[in-house]
């Protein structure tokens, strides 16, 4: 199991979690992504990021609130096919019209 970043990270990416992760498994591409993503294959379940996030966006996968269960798929998918993960986020929460 790994930790997962859910909805509260979208469009509020302060990166507190990235700073504390001991294995550098939290990533995002600047200018392309609206949230950060945890690599489920490298996360060591230390819990540091959960404590650091000011938005309570991070959960153990098995503790994800039901309404955010799909974010486990989003985080894992980003490491295989970032475009598919981005499309899912935009479908879930469309960007505000300029
Ligand atoms: S639980 Fe630990 S290893 Fe996993 S993403 Fe968070 S800080 Fe990194
Ligand atoms: S600390 Fe929380 S809101 Fe900030 S980038 Fe990490 S998961 Fe997103």
List of domains in the chain: 3-91 (3.30.70.20)
**In whole numbers, what is the pLDDT of the chain averaged over residues?**
95
Quick one: which ligand is closest to 28's CA? 2
Residue with tokens 């996360």: 43
96 CA to middle of ligand 1, Å?
A: 30
Q: What is the pLDDT of residues 35-50, one digit of tens each?
A: 999 999 999 999 999 9
Residue with tokens 């985080």: 75
Q: Per-residue pLDDT for 87 more than 70?
A: yes
In whole angstroms, give the CA distance from residue 88 to residue 94: 10
9 CA to middle of ligand 2, Å?
A: 5
Q: What is the pLDDT of residues 5-14, one digit of tens each?
A: 999 999 988 8
The pLDDT of residue 98 is 47
SS3 for 16-33, per residue?
HHHHHCCCCCEECCCCCC
In whole angstroms, give the CA distance from residue 26 to residue 1: 15
Quick one: which ligand is closest to 17's CA? 2
Q: Per-residue pLDDT for 97 more than 60?
A: no
């Amino acid at each position: 199991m790994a930790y997962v970043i859910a909805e509260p990270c979208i469009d509020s990416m302060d990166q507190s979690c990235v700073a504390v992760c001991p294995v550098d498994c939290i990533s995002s591409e600047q200018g392309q992504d609206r949230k950060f993503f945890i690599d489920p294959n490298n996360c060591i379940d230390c819990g540091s990021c959960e404590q650091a996030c000011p938005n309570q966006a991070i959960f153990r996968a098995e503790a994800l609130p039901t309404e955010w269960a799909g974010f486990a798929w989003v985080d894992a998918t980003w490491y295989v096919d970032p475009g598919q993960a981005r499309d899912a986020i935009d479908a879930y929460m469309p960007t505000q019209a300029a």
